[in-house]
């Protein structure tokens, strides 16, 4: 029995990912700050990934109940969008606040660090494992109004490459996925004009589905990807932002 922790698993890409791993026969520990449902044969844990003590406790519980941890999917993330500075009629109208910046850093970047730090000793004890980190196409290309979010997604790519170097000797592979425009509940609430613009920037002519990302995670965790580490897989329909 292989075991996986999926963070941010109550909805969207995280839920689809937890479901796919369950279909593949994994025992799944689904984590989220919101209430959610366990997958068949798995557990649900209410965990704030920015709280190191909570993460440590949840890893201990998951490893004990599931019999170890083989895969970690660092999917949890939040948005607090805003321009760095916004001028209107020649005067400063708004700035990105410290709260906006820090909240996103704490979940999207430090949360990935905290979860991985807690899980790696379990993987080493178990003879290896796979860490999969959620980046984004905006972490590669940048995006208007997302200083905080882009910083975290670029930072995740950097950490992925460091950990691939550090943890390879323990047979732990570390990779990131950079999703494009994915039709999650959060995205579907955007104005229709914005959604059509996203599709217009995507050569394949559609938004991705959460399952597209989940399938990529499952494949990267599998033995078929056993010689892949330290890489970033774009799952984006060919999108190039800002064009």
Residues that are catalytic? 149
Of 194, 84, 201, 108, the residue nearest 156 (C-alpha): 108
Q: What is the per-residue DSSP string for 39-101?
A: PTT-EEEE--TT-HHHHHHHHHHHHHHHTS--EEEE-------B-SEEEETTEEEEE--HHHH
Backbone angles phi, psi at 82, to 5 degrees: 170, 150
* Cα–Cα nearest to 28, from 64, 60, 57, 71: 71
């Amino acid at each position: 029995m292989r075991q996986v922790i999926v963070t941010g698993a109550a909805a969207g890409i995280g839920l689809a990912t937890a479901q796919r791993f369950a279909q593949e026969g994994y025992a799944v520990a689904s984590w989220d700050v919101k209430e959610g449902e366990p997958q068949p044969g798995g557990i649900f844990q209410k965990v704030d990934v920015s709280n190191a003590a909570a993460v440590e406790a949840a890893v201990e519980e998951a490893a004990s109940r599931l019999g170890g941890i083989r895969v970690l999917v660092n999917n949890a993330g939040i948005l607090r969008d805003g321009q760095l500075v916004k001028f209107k009629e020649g005067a400063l109208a708004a700035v990105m606040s410290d709260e906006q910046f820090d909240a996103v850093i704490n979940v999207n970047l430090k949360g990935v660090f905290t979860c991985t730090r807690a899980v790696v000793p379990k993987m080493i004890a178990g003879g290896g494992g796979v860490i999969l980190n959620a980046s984004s196409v905006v972490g590669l290309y940048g995006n208007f109004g997302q200083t905080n979010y882009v910083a975290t997604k670029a930072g995740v790519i950097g950490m992925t490459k460091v950990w691939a170097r550090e943890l390879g000797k323990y047979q732990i592979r570390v990779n990131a996925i950079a999703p494009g425009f994915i039709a999650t509940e959060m995205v579907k609430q955007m104005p229709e004009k914005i959604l059509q613009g996203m599709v217009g920037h995507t050569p394949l002519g559609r938004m991705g589905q959460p399952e597209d990302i989940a399938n990529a995670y499952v494949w990267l965790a599998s033995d078929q990807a056993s010689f892949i580490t330290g890489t970033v897989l774009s799952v984006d329909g060919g999108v190039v932002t800002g064009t």
